[in-house]
Amino acid sequence: MSYTLFKNKDSVGKDIPLDSDYWGPYRSRKQIQSMCQNLCSARGNCGGYSYVQDRCYLKQNIPNPLSPADGINTYIKDSIIQNFPSYFYTNSDYNSNTQLKAYASANNVDLTKCTTDECKIQTVQKHMRENIDRKVAEIYQAPGTATRAFDENYQITMLTGVVWALLGTTVLYYTFKNI
């Protein structure tokens, strides 16, 4: 089971708190977090969990968009995220860090110059717009596009073929007529 991390975000819903007493003594934070994740993965009604220092909160449902919460990191099952409406992702870590980076790496968009999420979004939107404009120009065979060049090359080739066929036929006609 894979989870997506939302830093400094939490959801409003029914939580099941699991105190440090539940884990027993001598457990590190990493062990507690791992055990919390395993418990959530084992439960069918668990949509994710929040982890704060030595406390773990299992999320039974996540009905609302995540809201800012300092010091709280929320982990949500990826299978749950896919079924959420798009407004859930607005200004979230998932949108800016996962989807933008995936698009940028797939389309060779350089996001290293951007320091804010807004800059990254504008850069990706600009690239998408340029890509759409280029494809529309190809469809309409605008001057300077590859499809226009291929069409012109095809027309010239066909015309040259007709001229050579006419010239060859004329030479044959006069050759056999004068023999």
pLDDT in tens, 39-83: 888 877 788 888 776 677 888 766 556 777 777 778 888 766 655
β-pair partners for 159: none
Q: Which two tokens stand for residue 27?
A: 């457990």
Half-sphere exposure of residue 10: CA atoms within 13 angstroms, side-chain side: 15
| Helix or strand holding residue 67 (H, E) | strand 67-68
Please list, in sequence order, all residues whose beta carbon lies within 8 angstroms of the beta carbon of residue 111, skipping any fewer than 6 positions away.
100, 101, 104, 120, 123, 124
Q: Helix, strand, or coil here: 68?
A: strand
> Which residue, 78, 57, 59, 67, is CA-closest to 8?
67
Please list, in sequence order, all residues whose beta carbon lies within 8 angstroms of the beta carbon of residue 129, skipping any fewer than 6 positions away.
none
Taking the C-alpha atoms of residue 78 and residue 3, their distance in angstroms, rounded to an integer, is 5
Name the percent of the chain lying above pLDDT 70. Answer: 75
Q: What is the pTM of this model?
A: 0.43
Q: Is the pLDDT of residue 18 over 70?
A: no
